[in-house]
Amino acid sequence: MSTSPEKPVLIVFGAGGHGRVAADAALFSGAFARVVAADRNPAAWGTEMLPGVPVLRPDELSALPAPLAVHIAIGNNPVRRQEAARLAAEWPLAQLATIVHPSASVAASARVAPGCLMTAQCVVGPMAELGEGVIVNHGAVVDHDCRIAAWAHIAPGVKLGGAVQVGEAALVGAGSTVLRNLRVGAGATLGAGAVLLQDLPDGAAWAGVPARPLALASA
């Protein structure tokens, strides 16, 4: 007789808007025994982030039963990366949870590292790779062979053509399009609604159609 592994209790760190999106996807996924939230801001403690998802106080968190899973629901990429490192030291036994909304389409051949969030209606194509803590937000398309480095955020409605590379902690803004084979640099920002026609350098902020450095985009 086979025994199915016990579902973990999920702690969503970050009780803001992005936390609500992550918790909603986690509830829909059915992958967790229970979903609770945590936040550094004491004003959030004792309230509900969503119906049925309480924001627990620190002493209540430490009383939760194993197995535990944690998900860092912070939209700011560098802060999300930093909080993951802090929580790994603080909660060494908790696993970093990946959350997949049931309406997300994730290819069987895609490789997804721990801590990712794939929300409603997104698509992750064949042979695509998502590094640790990547967000693929509502309705975004990460097409075949794309490589998204750790802690990057692919915002709602983005379209990444095939084999696009996105560097660590980059933000690809809502509704933007990146043509195939291009690279968005590490720590770079592509503005909402942009169309990227050439590589975006590390740390740069570009916007517009076609995308150009931000000061030029508004000229």
Ligand X SMILES: CC(C)(COP(=O)(O)OP(=O)(O)OC[C@H]1O[C@@H](n2cnc3c(N)ncnc32)[C@H](O)[C@@H]1OP(=O)(O)O)[C@@H](O)C(=O)NCCC(=O)NCCS
Choice from 9, 50, 207, 212 touching ligand X (CB under 6 A) = 207
The catalytically annotated residue of 18, 101, 138, 144 is 144
The answer to whether 144 is a known catalytic residue is: yes
Give 49 or 94: the residue with its C-beta nearer to ligand X: 49
170 binds ligand X (CB under 6 A): no
Binding positions for ligand X, 128-167, rule CB under 6 A? 137, 155-156
Asked if 96 and 69 count as a contact pair (C-beta separation under 8 A), the reply is yes
How far is 40 from 123, CA to CA, in rounded Å? 32
| Cβ-based neighbour number of residue 191 at 10 Å | 22
Choice from 173, 184, 185, 200 touching ligand X (CB under 6 A) = 173
205 binds ligand X (CB under 6 A): yes
192 binds ligand X (CB under 6 A): yes
107 binds ligand X (CB under 6 A): no
| Candidates 29-37, 55-63, 144-152, 202-210; binding stretch for ligand X (CB under 6 A) | 202-210
Burial 14-52 (b: 16+ CB within 10 A, else e): bbeebbbbbbbbbbbbebbebbbbbbeeeebbeeebbee
Where is 37: in which H helix or E strand? strand 34-38
Q: Is the peptide bond before 58 cis (omega within 30 degrees of 0)?
A: no
Give 35 or 74: the residue with its C-beta nearer to ligand X: 74
Asked if 180 and 198 count as a contact pair (C-beta separation under 8 A), the reply is no
Would you state the structure tokens that stand for residue 18, as one six-digit string? 């992005």
Point out which residues bind ligand X (CB under 6 A): 137, 155-156, 173-174, 189, 191-193, 205, 207-208, 214, 217-218
